[in-house]
Structure 1
Amino acid sequence: MGMKSDNPIIIKNDDGLFQLVDDDHHTLETKVAQRGLVIFAPYFKDPEQRTFKEDLTYIQLLELVKKLDRRLKRKGLPEVKTSSKFNQFVQQRQYYIKEQSQAGLTIKDGDPRWQQEFDNFRAIVSQEITRPLKPEQEKASFFMTIMKRSANFSVPGAGKTAMMYGTFAYLSSPRVNEVDKLLVVSPLNAFAAWRTEFQEVFGPKRELHYLNMRDKKYNNNVGAIKHDWIKADVITINYEALQSKLNIINDLLDSKTMLVFDEVHRVKGVGGQRAKAALSLSRAPHYRYVLTGTPIPNGFRDIYNFLHLMYPDEYSSFFAWDLTTLNNIDPEDVNKKLSPFFWRTNKQDLQVPKPDPDIIKEVAPSKNQELLAQAIYENENGTLATFIRLLQASTNPELLSTNINYKELGLVDADSGVWDKQTATVEKENSSSGEAYKKYDLTKIEAPKFEMGIDLIDKLVSQGKKVLVWGMFVGTMQKITDTLNGMGIKTTLVYGATPKQDREGMINNFRTGDAQVLVSNPNTLGESISLHQTVHDAVYFECNFNLTFMLQSRDRINRLGLPANQYTRYYYLMTKGDVAHMGFIDRIVYKKLKDKEKVMLDAIDGQLLVPEYTDDYLQEVKDIVMGRYKWWKLYN
């Protein structure tokens, strides 16, 4: 290499790889060194040149050097030195995870030895923001600041975005100057919340320079991205688009960019495309955070990706759980390791008023609906198809004239790993063309539940209330919208096919404009939208088993900021029936959801992480349709 050295040294070569270079005394050719280098073999990309693989972590490299040095030192041979570029690589990534673990535990325990730092944090943040943080939010923001890399698992509606801006306010303040911009990876419908919350939190004290990487002007225009990135302080990109912009983002990311993964449960699938893209982001950002109100919906394997997002270098040495271990691990072991690294605030901590008990509105089916339900049991071969057809016939029998659109169920991001892996097989086994129902005049079959829902909305609107309506099937949502608009009730429909650039304006017109009713499905608007300022009544025409979507849909109108005396009401519409008599299943589906909700809320309102419910959507469908779910308990 043309270098002279009295010690072996690790350098960064012209290819950008770290290389172990021998000294002038040929230390690495001695038998002692050769025996030591045997352990290096799996880590070398080129054993002859002693170049290391590029995916090694700084921890692995330091450990290898330490092991070789021990052998060399025992024989009085020169120890390995490291170049300035290697030292810089380590310094940029080094995270003292054991010490940070102690910091996390003591901060969460309210140890008074942190009081001076907390007071300093509060003083600086108060100078930077206009809208003060709640006391519980201040604690969370301080915790995340000190931890540098941590998770916020506060319940939906607790104000995680504001907590994150508290951390950002401190770190980007002139006195601290640790970061200068915030990159948020999130679902598309969270973009507006990050933009508007910045303006609410900082007010006139800071002007927002916002970069939306989904803006059309950045398509195939790297120059425009580079230009706007420099002056931006908040940048957003959605998980689905991340892969296409990965190269340019990694070129621009540096240690002064704060990186946030919002609704990180979106990347829980190990090996999935979203997870791969997220995990491929540069490790340069020193401040890295993950946010979700539902951290482990199905089991402890859900923590695998988000821990790798926060601790890509440290995971293998500190946590060291493989997927097989996580499938069968003792919850106590997990919590002992994880506890220092996450913060959780529940709604009780923030004194969010509890919603009223659910209001169940149940009605008997029409005679023709009863005949249709029997036909469904007799004609459908697949249990999932039977389940869907019963839900459709309960509210909108006309849907039985067309093929089932499984995407409307929102299963891909839901509870079922089985669904992800076996989509084609499941759809084939549950194909349903609607041919069997052509003998019925579906357009004339009365659905008392639908009429009851329309009357309820009419009554609420006549009282001057805005109403949020949740459906599942596009045909039903369209029918609700058309019916209400035909009655003179100004109604807006936002669903998957609604142009993304139009959604924010439509939602704002419902929130503060003249729209009286908003119709949507939880797949589209279940996350990151706040409507609680003006909307306090939600009507559910249809539900499925996706509890994550269900809870998040409820949290759109029950969030931090509600006055203590403000009610929140949820109305659930049901057609009476039971499986034993080949009837409808609305009540059974609702009860199953409430069972799962209790398990989940016990988990997310506590301070321990436990799996919230089982990952077996299809089995639950089978239990209901085959009558194995104990429906009679519902009436006792």
Structure 2
Amino acid sequence: MSADPVTIGIQYLPGKLSGRLVLEGSPSTSVWERLQQTVINLGFDYSFGPGSIELSWSGVLTLIGQFAPQQKHLDFRFSPRDDDARDKIAAFVQQFKQVQHSKGSLKLRITPEEIEERLFASGFTRELRPFQLRDLQRLLSLENGANFSVPGAGKTTVTLALHLLTRQPNQVLLVIGPKASFPAWREVVSECVREDAPDGNAEPFTFLTTSGEALSEALRSGATRFVLSYDLMIQTSEIITEFMSQHPVHLVLDEAHRMKAGYGSQRGSLLLNLAPLPIRRDILTGTPMPQQPSDIQSQLDFLWPGAGLGLQISRGTAPRQVLGELYVRTTKQDLNLPEPLRHFRSVPMAEGQMALYGIVKHEFLRQVSTLGLDGRFDAPAARRSVMRLLQLSANPVLALRSIADDAIKMDSGILEQVISEGPSTKMRAVADHARQLAAEGKKSVVWTIFTDTIQQMEVMLADLNPVSLYGAVPSGEPTDPETREGRIRRFHEDPSCMVMIANPAAAGEGISLHKVCHDAIYLDRSYVTTHYLQSIDRIHRLGLPPGVETNIYIYRTLAPMGLGCIDHSVSHRLRQKLRALQILLDDADLHRIALDEENSEDPIAWDISPDDVRDLIEVLEGRGSLPDEESE
């Protein structure tokens, strides 16, 4: 008779939200060593003891999902050792099978007619559009859901309807998102549900803004709908964890791409460890993969802990193949929005700016040239150099400050030239464009990634009575002119306020400008796809008046031939990321945006050679002769 297979017992540790694997007997195979090595490779927090492995319950489920199919081959078996572990593993196995089945062909469980009938009975009064009904029907057929629809498609409305239709007794709805998403959640119940709706369905959201005992009291108040910021979630993780472990929670992550760093960040690590607790999980984001395929890995592991979807991404499987039918997306084509017009405009550098750009570019190449030569690479310094080149492209006076901070050697002649030139030619061109639009009665939004540049543009465009939005502008009441909401209100209602100057990282989410503004001007752009796409969506979204033309103007600095243009690099990387996102989401609009980037002319001044730039530097440093002196 053959020996019985080795047993690996599984215990659930509720106080820690973790689990323990216990080796029972001596393994005749290498399974125990394989389990230990997998725990180390996947980056989980863990502790090894004699014949035991303790790690998060999400990690336990990941190991089960990865090793359960190999039990016969490796001559071992998993065996739950307590009722909690047995129940949780059974629920995981059921969900695992549903995920694998639904990836290829999602079986719809409810008709659109039944959805409308049940929503009406729940007091839901807003008439859903066909694409919203379609997305809701698919989400109701999934245990957990991903809504990747474009901004303005009604993800908040669909999520509230989903909650009403999946709500269980005593269930709590907890939404975690950036503060910019709060206004949508503040208004959605009153806009969608009648006041006398049954079963408390008209309950508004309670916004959690305090910590400590005040937060605990708010959670115990009897309210069942909460909104919490990502930052406060991290600060109060123990309270939130305890609450979720004791209550049936439907957890929604708004702008879920913010957890893309996974275990590499506090936010991602906490959410991944919390993932097994809610009775339902949903993620909302229009840009699930803003930078690279790994961005979506942690989001999938949050939605379906242990199902191995994130692991497949990490091993190089195409995200589209991994996701299959496990998400919904409404595109701008579904919204029947007219395609925006994108215009690329190149502006030449002034002489001082060109000389300074050449020196900083040389310094950047010197820093990165060590990569692979001696094993050392100063990544932070390289990142600073990239940001400095972006600054130089738009606002060289701003770049001088960071150059001084890093003590880069710079001749006074070049510094004096840059300072004497003042605002860059690109800043002047953007300001002139905003004035031209204002003269035609058109409001515009100017996007730039640097706060100092926003403030300088405010001064340059003071005649247009501008408002500005950036990270330091606080949220508050619309009646307060110094708050984010107050500034947005002034842009909408004050006829003399003709321009908004904003940072896409701070103002790319949670605001709508499409009723009063149809022209966006980009002074500069970063490498982050999310910032670019979401900033466009501020003026190009559902509710756009018919017959209105939306214009996107992208200003790029014209760099000398051979010197290389940072704006060209940004455009190149954005289109690569847009292509990857397009393939994942099968979105024609993303194809058109990427195509526009590909078809735009390179911002290169072909008539200026590297020798011309070197000569210019020598002249400004006092080492060369001016042309008119040579001719004498």
1:102 correspondence with 2:101: yes
How does 1:311-390 map onto structure 2 within 5 Å?
A: 311-315=304-308, 319=309, 321=311, 326=313, 329-331=316-318, 335-356=320-341, 358-365=342-349, 369-378=350-359, 381-383=363-365
Which of 237, 249, 263 is residue 255 of structure 2 equivalent to?
263
CA distance in 2: counterparts of 1:11 and 1:395, whole angstroms: 58
1:291 correspondence with 2:284: yes
Is the contact between residue 145 and residue 283 of structure 2 (CA under 8 Å) also seen in structure 1?
yes
**1:338-364: CA deviation from partner (whole Å, max 9, x where unpaired):** 2032222221122122112x2344555
Describe the shift of the 1:301–1:452 C-alpha distance in structure 2 as closer, same or farther (beyond 3 A).
closer
Is the contact between residue 150 and residue 290 of structure 1 (CA under 8 Å) also seen in structure 2?
yes
**Per-residue deviation, 1:288:** 0.7
SS of match in other structure, 1:234:
strand
Letter in 1 for 2:432: D
CA distance in 1: counterparts of 2:182 and 2:235, whole angstroms: 18
CA distance in 1: counterparts of 2:562 and 2:331, whole angstroms: 42
**Corresponding residue for 1:242?**
233
**Corresponding residue for 1:163?**
158
How does 1:22-171 map onto structure 2 within 5 Å?
A: 55=57, 57=60, 84-90=83-89, 95-103=94-102, 105-107=104-106, 114=108, 116-127=110-121, 128-171=123-166
Is the contact between residue 400 and residue 434 of structure 1 (CA under 8 Å) also seen in structure 2?
no
CA distance in 1: counterparts of 2:359 and 2:48, whole angstroms: 66
Describe the shift of the 1:391–1:625 C-alpha distance in structure 2 as closer, same or farther (beyond 3 A).
farther
Is the contact between residue 391 and residue 585 of structure 1 (CA under 8 Å) also seen in structure 2?
no
1:569 correspondence with 2:560: no
CA distance in 2: counterparts of 1:543 and 1:85, whole angstroms: 50
Letter in 2 for 1:192: P
Query: Percent identical across equivalent pairs?
Result: 23
**Per-residue deviation, 1:233:** 1.1
Is the contact between residue 150 and residue 332 of structure 2 (CA under 8 Å) also seen in structure 1?
yes
1:506 correspondence with 2:487: yes
**Per-residue deviation, 1:231:** 0.6
**Corresponding residue for 1:4?**
none
Is the contact between residue 288 and residue 295 of structure 2 (CA under 8 Å) also seen in structure 1?
yes
**Per-residue deviation, 1:390:** 5.8
CA distance in 2: counterparts of 1:496 and 1:434, whole angstroms: 34
Deviating more after overlay: 347-356 vs 391-400: 391-400
**Per-residue deviation, 1:523:** 1.6
**Per-residue deviation, 1:83:** 5.9
**Corresponding residue for 1:3?**
none
Is the contact between residue 390 and residue 567 of structure 2 (CA under 8 Å) also seen in structure 1?
no
CA distance in 1: counterparts of 2:411 and 2:398, whole angstroms: 9
CA distance in 2: counterparts of 1:129 and 1:613, whole angstroms: 36
**Corresponding residue for 1:413?**
none
Which of 193, 197, 201 is residue 202 of structure 1 equivalent to?
193
SS of match in other structure, 2:263:
coil
**1:382-436: CA deviation from partner (whole Å, max 9, x where unpaired):** 256776556545544432442269xxxxxxxxxxxxxxxxxxxxx97x9688967
Describe the shift of the 1:47–1:452 C-alpha distance in structure 2 as closer, same or farther (beyond 3 A).
closer
Deviating more after overlay: 301-310 vs 79-88: 79-88
CA distance in 2: counterparts of 1:552 and 1:541, whole angstroms: 16
Letter in 2 for 1:195: R
Is the contact between residue 340 and residue 540 of structure 2 (CA under 8 Å) also seen in structure 1?
yes
**Corresponding residue for 1:558?**
540
CA distance in 1: counterparts of 2:62 and 2:402, whole angstroms: 54
Letter in 2 for 1:264: A
**1:246-301: CA deviation from partner (whole Å, max 9, x where unpaired):** 11111111563211222222222243222112212252212112222222344433
CA distance in 2: counterparts of 1:72 and 1:587, whole angstroms: 57
Letter in 1 for 2:276: R
Is the contact between residue 186 and residue 264 of structure 1 (CA under 8 Å) also seen in structure 2?
yes
Describe the shift of the 1:354–1:479 C-alpha distance in structure 2 as closer, same or farther (beyond 3 A).
same
SS of match in other structure, 1:440:
helix
Describe the shift of the 1:178–1:375 C-alpha distance in structure 2 as closer, same or farther (beyond 3 A).
same
Describe the shift of the 1:552–1:375 C-alpha distance in structure 2 as closer, same or farther (beyond 3 A).
same
Q: Which runs of 5 or more structure 1 residues have no equivalent in the other structure?
A: 1-8, 22-27, 74-78, 406-426, 615-622, 632-636
Is the contact between residue 353 and residue 562 of structure 1 (CA under 8 Å) also seen in structure 2?
no
CA distance in 2: counterparts of 1:201 and 1:376, whole angstroms: 54
CA distance in 1: counterparts of 2:251 and 2:152, whole angstroms: 21
Is the contact between residue 376 and residue 386 of structure 1 (CA under 8 Å) also seen in structure 2?
no
Is the contact between residue 141 and residue 163 of structure 1 (CA under 8 Å) also seen in structure 2?
yes
**1:197-221: CA deviation from partner (whole Å, max 9, x where unpaired):** 44433364554533333x2x43563
Letter in 1 for 2:415: K
Which of 436, 452, 463 is residue 475 of structure 1 equivalent to?
452
User: TM-score, length-normalised on structure 2?
Assistant: 0.71
SS of match in other structure, 1:402:
helix
SS of match in other structure, 1:341:
coil
Letter in 2 for 1:531: L
CA distance in 2: counterparts of 1:451 and 1:320, whole angstroms: 47
Is the contact between residue 471 and residue 540 of structure 1 (CA under 8 Å) also seen in structure 2?
yes
Describe the shift of the 1:67–1:509 C-alpha distance in structure 2 as closer, same or farther (beyond 3 A).
same
**1:116-152: CA deviation from partner (whole Å, max 9, x where unpaired):** 5443223212443222222111111221222121222
CA distance in 1: counterparts of 2:444 and 2:284, whole angstroms: 29
**Corresponding residue for 1:529?**
511
**Per-residue deviation, 1:103:** 4.3
Letter in 1 for 2:172: K
**Per-residue deviation, 1:512:** 4.4
**Per-residue deviation, 1:377:** 1.0
Q: Which runs of 5 or more structure 2 residues have no equivalent in the other structure?
A: 1-8, 37-45, 366-381, 477-482, 595-601, 611-632
1:184 correspondence with 2:175: yes
Is the contact between residue 297 and residue 314 of structure 2 (CA under 8 Å) also seen in structure 1?
no
Is the contact between residue 352 and residue 421 of structure 2 (CA under 8 Å) also seen in structure 1?
no
Is the contact between residue 466 and residue 535 of structure 1 (CA under 8 Å) also seen in structure 2?
yes
CA distance in 1: counterparts of 2:214 and 2:177, whole angstroms: 22
**Corresponding residue for 1:25?**
none
SS of match in other structure, 1:99:
helix
Describe the shift of the 1:169–1:15 C-alpha distance in structure 2 as closer, same or farther (beyond 3 A).
closer
Letter in 1 for 2:534: Q
CA distance in 1: counterparts of 2:441 and 2:14, whole angstroms: 71
**Corresponding residue for 1:412?**
none
Describe the shift of the 1:19–1:102 C-alpha distance in structure 2 as closer, same or farther (beyond 3 A).
closer
CA distance in 2: counterparts of 1:299 and 1:613, whole angstroms: 17
| Greater length-normalized contact order (CA 8 Å, ≥ 6 residues apart) | 1
User: TM-score, length-normalised on structure 1?
Assistant: 0.71
CA distance in 2: counterparts of 1:378 and 1:37, whole angstroms: 61
**Corresponding residue for 1:454?**
431
Letter in 1 for 2:513: L
Is the contact between residue 387 and residue 625 of structure 1 (CA under 8 Å) also seen in structure 2?
no
Is the contact between residue 179 and residue 258 of structure 1 (CA under 8 Å) also seen in structure 2?
no
Is the contact between residue 208 and residue 233 of structure 1 (CA under 8 Å) also seen in structure 2?
yes
Is the contact between residue 180 and residue 257 of structure 1 (CA under 8 Å) also seen in structure 2?
yes
Output the aligned Cα RMSD. Answer: 4.8
Is the contact between residue 529 and residue 578 of structure 2 (CA under 8 Å) also seen in structure 1?
no
**Per-residue deviation, 1:539:** 1.5
